[in-house]
Structure 1
Amino acid sequence: MRFSRLLRSQFVPKHNPVYDKDIKLLEDFLISKPNILVLTGAGISTESGIPDYRSEGVGLYARTNHKPIQHIEFLRSGPTRQRYWARNFVGWPKFSSTKPNDTHIALARFQSEGRIQGIVTQNVDKLHTKAGAKDVIELHGSGYKVICLNCDYSVDRHEFQEELNSLNPEFKDAPDMIRPDGDVDIPQDYIENFKIPPCPKCGFHLKPEIVFFGDNVPRERHRIIAEMINKSDGLLVVGSSLLVFSGYRMVLQTKELNLPVALVNIGATRADPLADIKLDAKCGDVIPKLFCFK
């Protein structure tokens, strides 16, 4: 058990302890604003063993030279699609078996108790849903669904994995290192012969329902989130540096309505100057302890 916790914590950056008075400050804020909308980022899932991109010393950028896949590269390049799907195939069993941590579970409980309005996440790992949260808005899509880039075909990622497995049985022993979107790093010689099935409906390219870097969040998703902000008492951001504009945009929309913003994140965020409350702390040291004070 202790070894398992150490493995899960390897992607959590160095952080300071949090004090009860700070947790109580955030709890009082949530009590006074019972219709708060929650936005979560990669920092909430590092404690489940999924790394983020930017954390100092432990994020993907700090540990490798690889950058996340760009949308335009996936569209234009057959070798890029081959490389992506080969790595995603190898990483999928580990990525899909990841379990929610205490923060995911606590937020799901807060939602069921009516303490928060809802959850929007920048993550594609489905850990909020696994924890029991309902109607989670996945800002950047989900790694659990595969879509066609040309028609309306879609397939569950588990089912697609079986098809990839039947086409590429030699890949079962490929070494890997998991990445935030379920992609992994594997040797080039495992990639060059990887086979990808075309869309069975129109024959075009398939991709995960993830908003890759350089792509746009669907307008309808932005509209739904804007409505949620309009109906909220404010915004709580958990585990995000907000360097990606789609998340930071939610903070700007909230402040335009003169609503408060609270942040819980290890290190600085893009929205620190706009925050009404900021806790520089690990999510798991704060969120699960809320509403436990007597």
Structure 2
Amino acid sequence: MLADLVADGDVVILSGAGLSTESGIPDYRGETGRKRRAEPMTYQAFAGSAAARQRYWARSHLGWRHIARAAPNDGHRAVAGLQERGLVAGIITQNVDGLQQAAGAHDVIELHGSLDRVMCLGCGRRTPRQALDRRLRAANPGWSAEVGAINPDGDAVLADDQIDSFQVVDCTDCGGLLKPDVIFFGENVPRPRVEECFTLTERAGTLLVLGSSLTVLSGYRFVRHAAKLGVAVAIVNQGVTRGHDHALVALDAPLGPTLTALLASLDGASTPR
């Protein structure tokens, strides 16, 4: 039934962290998420505490390198393949790793932003993460730390004594606080971005959820909206999701092999015999 829904086209994809676990990036609530040893940074803590910002940037300085080295997996490539075949009307991702674009997907709405950009909370200027990486390296010559684990948001687990000597840098334009261009917990997604996602959902033939538990309202609201409008909802995820009651089809399966097989079956069905 999943192949039939996708073959009809006008598919809007809503992807979550589970799509990137096969690239070595852990998720929040799946099997890799259960092994997490640290809570994610909240916007309130980051904006209100110099110590919290020092902790975040020290850990992210190392963790981001892991994210930046990650390569797209079969699931990402299958999504790009579906889009290339004209079956996908839009892609909404809750991920901040950029791997769907790296696999060839385009016009991806990054619901929660992207780790490869940095923004200033003072003047609003956005700059590449690579530029900040160079500045942090220059401000911390000889600094090194042993990474205990990597979290889904690019946050590396470090001991407190490894963080104490880390030097944070500010905006070169206004001296304001720098923050990754991602939505932290406790922070709202910009309303125009949310409205764009609602519009895509309303025009969809099928809303296909890939690798998301839908625990957070940020993504779940689109599933709920689709169901209210009578738009078919299909889910591929490892484990039960919050959206299962709204789904016409729900598969508990690994993303890479499942999406690769889906793409092959669609190609086979379109090949004249």
* Superposition TM-score tier, normalisation by shorter sequence: over 0.9
Q: Deviations over 1:67-104 (max 9, x none)?
A: 11111000101000000000000112221010000010
| Equivalent in 210, 219, 230 of residue 191 of structure 2 | 219
Equivalent residue letter for 1:139 = L
AA matched with 1:121: T
- Cα displacement string for residues 111-138 of structure 1 (whole angstroms, at most 9, x for unaligned residues): 1110111211000000001001101101
Stretches of structure 2 lacking an aligned partner (at least 5 in a row): 269-273
Question: Residue 63 of structure 1 aligns with which residue?
Answer: 35
**Counterpart residue number, 1:163:** 135
Q: Is the 8 A contact 2:11 2:89 kept in 1?
A: yes
The AA in structure 2 aligned to 1:290 is L
Q: After superposition, where does 1:196-235 map in structure 2 within 5 Å?
A: 196-235=168-207
Deviations 1:175-194 (A, max 9, x none): 34211011110121121121
Identify which of 31, 35, 38 aligns with 2:7. Answer: 31
Q: Residue 160 of structure 1 aligns to which amino acid in structure 2? A: L
Q: Percent identity?
A: 43
Any unmatched runs of 5+ in structure 1?
A: 1-24
1:119 to 91, 97, 109: 91
C-alpha RMSD of matched pairs (Å): 1.2
Q: Following TM superposition, by how much is the alpha carbon of 1:63 offset from its aligned partner in structure 2, in angstroms?
A: 2.2
Query: Where does residue 271 of structure 2 map in the other structure?
Result: none
Q: TM-score, structure 1 length as denominator?
A: 0.88
1:1-294 residue pairs with structure 2 within 5 A? 25-32=1-8, 34-56=9-31, 58-59=32-33, 62-293=34-265, 294=268
Quick one: distance in 1 between partners of 2:234 and 2:141?
48
Q: Aligned partner of 2:22: which letter?
A: E
C-alpha distance 174-291 of structure 1, shift in aligned 2 (>3 A)? closer
Q: Name the TM-score, length of structure 2 as normaliser.
A: 0.94
Measured in 1, the distance between the counterparts of 2:231 and 2:72 equals: 30
Instruction: Show CA shifts across 1:229-277 (max 9, x none).
Output: 1221120000000001010001011112111100000111001111000
Report the CA distance between 1:172 and its aligned residue.
Answer: 3.9
Contact 1:90 1:176 in 2 (8 A): no
Q: Secondary structure at the match of 1:96?
A: helix
* Distance (whole Å) between structure 1 residues aligned to residue 206 and residue 28 of structure 2: 27
Q: Which amino acid aligns with 1:51?
A: P
